[in-house]
Amino acid sequence: MKKTKRNAVLVIIAFLLVLGVAIYTAIFGVADRGKVEYIKLGLDLKGGLSVTYEIQEDDYSDKDLEDTKYKIEKRVEAYTNEYSVYEDGDKKITAEIPGVTNADEILEALNIEGKLEFLDPDNYTKWSQGQEYEAALTGDDIKNATAGIDSDNGNDNVVQLAFTDEGAQKFADVTAANVGKVVYIIYDNKVVSAPTVQSAITGGSAEINKIGSYEEAEQLATTIRIGALPLTLKQVRSNIVGATLGSDAISTSLKAGAIGIALVFLIMIIVFRIPGLVASFALAFYTILDLLVINLFNVTLTLPGIAGVILSVGMAVDANVIIFTRIKEELADGKSVKQAVKGGFHNALSAIIDGNVTTLIAALVLGIFGTGTIKGFAITLAIGVVLSVFTALAVSQSLLTALVNLGVADAKYFGVAREPKKTNFVKAGKFCMLGSLIVIIACFCMMPVNNKSKGSPLNFSVEFAGGTSLTVGFDKEYSLSEAESDIVPVIAEAAGIGEAGISVQTVSGTNEIVFKMPELSDDGTDDSQMSKVRTALTDKLGADVKEANVISGSVSSEMSKNAIFSVILAAILMLIYIAIRFHDVKFGASAVIALLHDVAMVFCLYIILRLTVGNTCIACLLTIVGYSINATIIIFDRIRENIDIMRPKKATYKDIVNLSINQTFSRTIYTSLTTFVTIFVLYIMGVASIKEFALTLMAGIIIGAYSSVCITGPLWYTMKTKLGKARKDGLE
């Protein structure tokens, strides 16, 4: 007994020490690492570098333009997963990259033409004299390029090139024809290697050596893999731009997050008592650990990334709620506190694992195949899922077990589960499914009406649909919040558009501000939107429109394809996993249909309220997918468990489904309440640009709770009885 208590004390002391170290690291850092304020923030939260290039060719195809934008995006991805690349007026491309600590390095990488060529001696002479020449091989003949170290040559930094089949044959031919001579490797119009050929090389590989540093070798390999830019670009402008959400967005979001988490702790303690107190410490540790890991992996945090963090916090709370609800049930069965704690964690294990693995599958697929916003969301979600499982199953369990071993074993401090109500959710589910279907159809029928009356079926943001960019000079410097309150209403009124559709970016070190909005009409008359905006800015604010351009959407067709593909693949893999784990494909089908329902219902808000459809919308919908699938898994896990218990007793599937939903109803309410409270505080305290995001997220939480209780179980029951053997057995 003494040894057990001693071990319990050691567990608590060890946890408090680790928590203290984590807090210290988050606040002060260790060796210039770990400090939370070092977390990289995206363009929306902190701003960054904006660089504009002018296309030098007069005649080029749309494909060349798209390929050039795509390859610029790939180059930027070497530094950050969050960026924006778009057409900026006639013959211009602008790239916006968050953060400016390595601006010179990024500019150098973007300014590289990236053309790789292999020249024999004759063509090298022509090249060096500015004459027309023919390359033996080009970058198109390269299959892969990787950085390496040649230990045989004094640890020389190299780039190893692997040729395509056609490239390998070309290289074999050029080396066979030039034995004893030099073959020149030209990159970005510079000789980077000039080896003397000893014999024909038929292995399908080559090497660029004598590179200054390994980092340079990695950068060179990356640029070679991406390939040369199809168009010649000239840098015409670079600026440091401010955050699109404003500097207040970070501080207010942090305050809202702190208050929201404090309220979550309070709810957990009131509802679950001692386990709730333990969960509060575990969740505090989880939150700090999550931020430290995000910092460690150098993840760029944007509003969608914050959505991933919020979702993972909700899942961490959910895991604890599942466990503590199970403990209450064990106590209600008359077990001792020690037995109840052990049984509660054991019984909750399958639901926690299945729910988090399903979400992790989605996060991994989105992270691998997604780009930009989606990748950022996926990375933060994946980190959060792994850490939430760890804190629930390791930290919470260790602390709670330690307290019980120290004598905190009175059942009144743990709460006892009430007898579940006997609501007939299967019967109600039929009406809920019909009602949801009617709402969804009605909302989607509004899209052609919107298209006719408002010019577009949805209120697409500039990120998606492109628009007009105005660079405006003022006689004084405005902060972003001042620009939003004093200038945006002037532009919106003159153009006849909503204020929510106008984004603002300050230009560091100047009195200029960049406004992006839906495309303004500009036919040269005084009645055009552009003329009215120019006049209003001049007359009311004494401003000067220095530049006006039509810009493309920053979400490219390639990014859209990747997003759609990754979401579909994630849904298929989740269906397969659920079908395997639950030994019934109907569970997987029901879960995916419920996901589609939740996404469609939230999307209805964007149709009815004309909310802006942009990156924020993507973040919201992805968050709802992750949240809803977890809630669905909890109910399905209980149905699976009750089937094993009740089917041998000839219970009907209707009774099993109704009992399972009633048993998990409190978990659904508590989890939804805690997550909703966090978002609600963000909505109340957040800046205007975040309120729309918080509003749709709150709606999504309510819809997710509704579908998990009223649709998923009844839908599975309908499939099981209509498509399965239950009807034949008379046990439907």
Residue 258 has pLDDT above 70, yes or no: yes
Are residues 342 and 309 part of one domain? yes
Residues 538 and 608 in one domain: no
Instruction: Please indicate, yes or no, if residue 65 is contained in any of the structural domains.
Output: yes
Average pLDDT in the 120-132 region? 92
Read off the pLDDT of each residue in 408-436 and give the average, rounded to a whole number.
Answer: 85
The pLDDT of residue 380 is 85
| Domain closes at, from 228, 259, 288 | 228
> Is residue 455 situated within a structural domain?
no
Say if residue 717 is in the same domain as residue 572.
Answer: yes
Query: 239: which strand partners?
Result: 50
In this structure, the answer to whether residues 193 and 126 fall within a common structural domain is yes
Which ranges in 77-163 belong to alpha helices (H)?
Answer: 103-111, 121-128
Average pLDDT of the chain? 85
pLDDT 10s digits, 617-667: 877 887 788 778 888 898 999 999 999 899 888 889 999 999 999 999 988
How far apart (Å, rounded) are the C-alpha atoms in residues 512 and 514?
7
| pLDDT higher than threshold 80 for residue 246 | no
- Do 405 and 303 sit in the same domain of this protein? yes
CA distance 157 to 147: 7
Do 471 and 521 lie in a common domain?
yes
Asked if residue 7 has pLDDT above 60, the reply is: yes
For residue 99, the 8-state DSSP code is B
Both tokens of residue 84? 């924006």
Q: What CATH number does the domain containing 131 carry? A: 3.30.1360.200
Residue where one domain finishes, among candidates 184, 216, 241: 241
| Residues 617, 514 share a domain | no
Check whether residue 524 and residue 596 sit in a common domain. no
In a domain, 452, yes or no: no
Reported as a pLDDT band with limits 50, 70 and 90, residue 420 is confident
Q: What is the CATH number of the domain that holds 613?
A: 1.20.1640.10
User: Mind listing the pLDDT tens digit for each residue in 573-608?
Assistant: 988 999 999 988 999 999 999 999 999 999 999 999
Structural domain count of the chain: 5
In a domain, 563, yes or no: yes
State the CATH number of the domain containing residue 486: 3.30.70.3400
Q: Are 217 and 258 within one domain?
A: no
The residues, any chain, with a CB within 8 Å of residue 161's CB and separated by 6 or more, are: 142, 144, 145, 205, 206, 207, 208, 224
Residue 701 has pLDDT above 50, yes or no: yes
| Owner of token pair 């230009």 | 507
Residues 287 and 399 in one domain: yes
Per residue in 423-437, pLDDT tens? 899 999 999 999 999
Can you give the pLDDT at residue 730?
47
> Is pLDDT of 728 > 60?
no
What span, in angstroms and rounded, lies between the C-alpha atoms of 256 and 679? 8
Write down the pLDDT at residue 50. Answer: 83
pLDDT at 342: 92
Tell me what pLDDT residue 525 has: 84
Please answer whether residues 315 and 266 qualify as being in contact, where contact means their C-beta atoms are separated by less than 8 angstroms. no
Q: Are residues 177 and 98 in the same domain?
A: no
Q: Is residue 170 part of a domain?
A: yes
Lowest mean pLDDT among 295-304, 506-515, 628-637: 295-304
In a domain, 450, yes or no: no
- 694 in a structural domain: yes
Mean predicted confidence (pLDDT) in 114-133: 90
Please tell me whether residues 573 and 712 are part of one structural domain: yes
Among 184, 217, 241, the domain-final residue is: 241
Instruction: Evaluate whether residue 566 is within a structural domain.
Output: yes
Domain of residue 294: give its range: 2-39+248-413
pLDDT mean over 491-505: 86
